[in-house]
Structure 1
Amino acid sequence: MECAIELSGIGKTFGRGKAAITALDGVDLRMAPGEFLCLLGASGCGKSTLLNLIANLDQPSTGSIVRNTARPAVMFQEAALMPWLTVQRNVELPMRLHRVPKAERAEKVAELLDLVRLSGVNDKRPHELSGGMRQRVALARALASAAGTEEADEPSLLLMDEPFAALDAITRDVLQGELIRIWRKTKTAVLFVTHDVREATRLGQRVVLLSSRPGRVVREWHTRDIDGTGDSAEVTDEITAALREVISQHAAT
């Protein structure tokens, strides 16, 4: 099967000489089209750095990245909505930048807001929404990012950097469930960065654990069936133990 993303020997070093910091070292990773993969690791292990490299927001120091998808859409911990724009305008912004016709934009926005269960809030501005609603808008905007471009017929890829970390537990739980629903419906490949084991095992079909800095792939687990159902408390406990070991090894150095 063709990979959506293939990383070979990825390394990333910031700075030079004695001040150089190696964030990633020799990372190999393959991701299938439509796969939901969670990237897990302790704070500072290079998860976000790896996401930025895949998004082409930065370049690796060593290794290569092959992307067989449309331009990746990125969703961060903060919704990063334009406060002066309405929900409608925020979601359609990527399509406006790609000069998608107005009627087509309106149809797509309506479809996406319905998908994230926010129909009827088109004219509201971000400050009028709850934190969870703002993240739903950010998700709709991310899903719109490839709409109408010359890449739109290619497999899509959504990169998510701890998007629910700042939310309260109940809202986070609801949005995790919503994300699974949307992923099943859209068949978008999702690479989800988190440091929360339970979040990783609930969401991901596969969980990849990075070591502490420099980040290297330590282990991976298949946690969900191909249809995205089922999880295992035993796997969760096993991943938790592996993460604790990685953190302990880092603390001992």
Structure 2
Amino acid sequence: MTAILDHAVGVQHEAAVDLTGVGKVFGRGSETVTALTEVDLRVRPGEFVVLLGASGCGKSTLLNLVAGLDRPTSGTVTVDSGRPAVMFQEPALLPWLDAGRNVELPLRLAGVGRSARRTRAAELLDLVRLGGQARKRPHELSGGMRQRVALARALAATSNGTGAPEGGLLLMDEPFAALDAITRDFLQGELQRIWQATGTAVLFVTHDVREAVRLGQRVVLLSSRPGTVVREWDLGADGADREELTEEITARLREVISTHGRA
């Protein structure tokens, strides 16, 4: 089957991300590893979707395919939001640049003028509650503050710094996993606030059920490797009880893991 990766801008689709029959195989012969198989997933513009699964189930692989960092072996990946921005566990800030210039970097690469990108970076640092910290270098900031700078930089990348930050696509690969519990809780709340303020579509990867239920409008569960979608939950449905859903999703995740263990 031919694999197609479509990152065309201006082609109108009904989704920010659309994956159809996506599979990914690494290696050849006896070294072949099937990471993903027949994945169907759609993320609507402005939607917050959490991809949940055990370690090694292909969550990060799927995110890399959407980001264009790798290509599917089969199926199609269609992205209709410009080039996605990606956040990882580590902020990956350039240590020789201050916070403001780290945020400016994708704007500079997009050809945005100096004055406009400085203005834009200041707006985004204000959005993540780091106004006045633009001249601080990464080593002068706490871990949570560095992740907020990384988030501001990602938001700059989603729209190339033009106009308001609405729209775009943000891919997040367990961005809070390395943080302490208090900082993680704070940043989860901040992410919800920023998502609501910007209208950015988010595809968020985690193996933490409580994080998934707190953040997502929709939770998508992947099976153990090879990963495929086995269940979805709509957390925005009327009358949805998030505590009950947490228990239900946890039980389903445990079932998936135990099935893999017997395979």
1:4 and 1:155 in contact (8 A); partners too: no
Distance 1:152 1:181 in 2: 16
Q: Which residue of 1 aligns with 2:73?
A: 61
Distance 1:149 1:142 in 2: 10
Range with bigger deviation, 230-239 or 199-208: 230-239
Which of 214, 236, 250 is the aligned partner of 1:240? 250
Q: Which residue of 1 aligns with 2:170?
A: 158
What do you get for the CA RMSD once the two structures are aligned?
Answer: 2.0
Amino acid at match of 1:240: T
Distance 2:240 2:90 in 1: 29
How many residues matched? 251
Please report how far the alpha carbon of residue 151 of structure 1 lies from its aligned counterpart in structure 2 after TM superposition.
Answer: 11
Distance 1:14 1:49 in 2: 11
**Structure 1 segments of 4+ aligned residues over 3 angstroms from their partners:** 146-155
The 3-state SS of whatever aligns with 2:251 is: helix
Q: Which residue of 2 aligns with 1:48?
A: 60
Please report how far the alpha carbon of residue 68 of structure 1 lies from its aligned counterpart in structure 2 after TM superposition.
Answer: 1.1
Distance 2:158 2:243 in 1: 36
Please report how far the alpha carbon of residue 29 of structure 1 lies from its aligned counterpart in structure 2 after TM superposition.
Answer: 0.4
Q: How does 1:15-30 map to 2 (within 5 A)?
A: 15-30=27-42
Q: Which residue of 2 aligns with 1:140?
A: 152
Distance 1:70 1:189 in 2: 12
Q: Taking structure 2 as the reference length, what is the TM-score of the superposition?
A: 0.91
Please report how far the alpha carbon of residue 224 of structure 1 lies from its aligned counterpart in structure 2 after TM superposition.
Answer: 2.8
Q: Which residue of 1 aligns with 2:101?
A: 89
Matched, 1:251 2:255: no
Q: Which residue of 1 aligns with 2:90?
A: 78
1:202 and 1:231 in contact (8 A); partners too: no
2:156 and 2:165 in contact (8 A); partners too: no
Distance 1:194 1:21 in 2: 22
Amino acid at match of 1:69: S
Distance 2:241 2:168 in 1: 25
- 1:27-72 residue CA offsets vs partner (Å, 9 max, x unmatched): 0001100000000000000000000000000000000011111210
Distance 1:250 1:115 in 2: 42
- 1:187-238 residue CA offsets vs partner (Å, 9 max, x unmatched): 0000000000000000000000000000010100011359xx9751111100
Determine what percentage of the aligned residue pairs are the same residue.
Answer: 67
Please report how far the alpha carbon of residue 172 of structure 1 lies from its aligned counterpart in structure 2 after TM superposition.
Answer: 0.2
- 1:102-140 residue CA offsets vs partner (Å, 9 max, x unmatched): 111111011100000001111110001100000000000
Q: Which residue of 1 aligns with 2:14?
A: 2
Matched, 1:215 2:213: no
The 3-state SS of whatever aligns with 2:14 is: coil
Q: Taking structure 1 as the reference length, what is the TM-score of the superposition?
A: 0.95
The 3-state SS of whatever aligns with 1:246 is: helix
Amino acid at match of 2:101: R
The 3-state SS of whatever aligns with 2:158 is: coil
Q: 1:101 to 1:201 in 2, by over 3 A?
A: same
Distance 1:147 1:107 in 2: 14
Distance 1:155 1:188 in 2: 4
Unpaired runs of 5+ in structure 1?
Answer: none
Q: Which residue of 1 aligns with 2:24?
A: 12
1:146 and 1:152 in contact (8 A); partners too: no
Unpaired runs of 5+ in structure 2?
Answer: 1-12
